[in-house]
Amino acid sequence: MDTDMMVRTKAFDWLASQVGVYGDVLPRTLLQAGFEFQGQRVPLLSPQGIFKPKIMELPLSITTSFSSPYGDAFGTEGFLHYRYRGTDPNHRDNVGLRRAFERNLPLVYLYAVARGQYMATWPVYIIRDDPAALTFEIAVDDVGSVAVRAEPSHGVNEGIEARQAYITATVRQRLHQRAFRERVLEAYRSQCAFCRLRHRELLDAAHIVPDYLSEGPPTVNNGLALCKLHHAAYDRFLIGVSPDYVLRVRGDVLEEEDGPVLVHGLQALHDKRLILPSAQADWPSPDLLDWRYDRFLKAA
C-alpha cells in the first residue's frame, strides 16, 4: 500500500474514533487539527473546499461549507453534484480530483450542518466528471469497498452503482435531517420555543409542516426548537401555534385536572407568545403556521 492510500486509511480510522467520542457532528477545530502520520500533522480540511494535505499527492477531502457559493446539491438520480473550484477545469484542485477519479481513490466528504460543525462521510468516490457542467458526481460507498477498489475502473458496474445509489440516498437523508436540526437549534439559541428549556440533549427540531409533504421544506422557517415534551404535544395537536405566534392549548387539555406537569408543562402555556429567533428571517412562516394551526383547530 502506497503512502497516499495509507494516509486515507488512517484518516477513515481516525474519523471513526472521533465520531465515537463526539457523535456524528464534529467541530471544525478538530478537523483542522487532524491526526499525526509518520511525524506529520494531517488536517482534514482547509478554507478551500477541495483539500490536499502536504503529505499527500492527491486530495483527501471535499467540503460543502455552511455558506458554500457553489450550490452543491444531490441530483435527481440521487448522487451528489460537487462543483469544480472556480470556472477553470484545469485549476490544480480540479485536476487533483480528476486524478483521484482516474485512480478510483476514496475521499472524505464533509458537510456543514451549522457554522463550524460538520458531518463526515467516508468513503466517497467520484463516479463521473463533467467539465462542461463544471461538476463532479460523487457517490458514497461502504467502508469495505476501500480494500476491493484498489484498481482503476472506467466501466459502469451496475451492481456497484445500485449499491452506491442506495447508500448515498440513506446518507443524504441523514445529512439533511441533521442539518435541519442543527440550524433550527442554532436559530433558537438552543432553547425550547415554548418553555425556554436549554438542555440541548433534550431538544428537537420540530417541523411545522411535516417534511414528508411537498409543502414542508427543510428550512429554518418551517421549524421550531422544542423540548421532547412539547414536541410530542405539538405533533399530537395538544398545543397549537397561531400565525401571529401565540400558543394555544387544546380545550379539553385545559379542563383536565392532573399533576404539576400538566399544569406547568401544558396548561400554563395557553395564550403565551412563542419564543422567536433573533433573526427575523428565521421566524416561522405565518403561512406554514396557518396550515398547521388549521389542523390543530380541527383536531380540537
Average pLDDT of the residues in 225-242: 97
The pLDDT value given to residue 254: 93
The pLDDT value given to residue 71: 52
The pLDDT value given to residue 70: 46
* pTM as predicted: 0.77
- φ, ψ for residue 58, nearest 5 deg: -130, 165
Please answer whether residues 45 and 61 qualify as being in contact, where contact means their C-beta atoms are separated by less than 8 angstroms: yes
Q: What is the DSSP string of 201-264?
A: GGEEEEESS-TTSTT--SSGGGEEEEEHHHHHHHHTTSEEE-TTSBEEE-HHHHH----HHHHH
Read off the C-alpha cell for 262.
400538566
**Given CA atoms 112, 113, 115, 119 in this order, what sign does their dihedral have?**
negative
pLDDT in tens, 63-114: 998 765 445 577 667 799 999 999 999 999 999 999 999 999 999 999 998 8
Does 159 or 50 have the greater pLDDT score?
50
Residue 91 one-letter amino acid: H
Does 294 or 157 have the greater pLDDT score?
294
- Give the helix/strand (H/E) hosting 123: strand 117-130
Please answer whether residues 85 and 50 qualify as being in contact, where contact means their C-beta atoms are separated by less than 8 angstroms: yes
Assess whether pLDDT exceeds 80 at residue 238.
yes
* Mean of the per-residue pLDDT values of the chain: 90
List domains and CATH numbers for the chain: 3-184 (2.30.280), 190-299 (no CATH)
Angstrom CA distances, 288 to 47, 131, 180, 244, stand at 36, 40, 16, 11
- Sort 154 into a burial class: Cβ within 10 Å, 0-12 / 13-18 / 19+: exposed
Read off the C-alpha cell for 252.
379539553
Average pLDDT of the residues in 20-35: 95
- φ, ψ for residue 152, nearest 5 deg: -60, 145
Please answer whether residues 292 and 215 qualify as being in contact, where contact means their C-beta atoms are separated by less than 8 angstroms: no
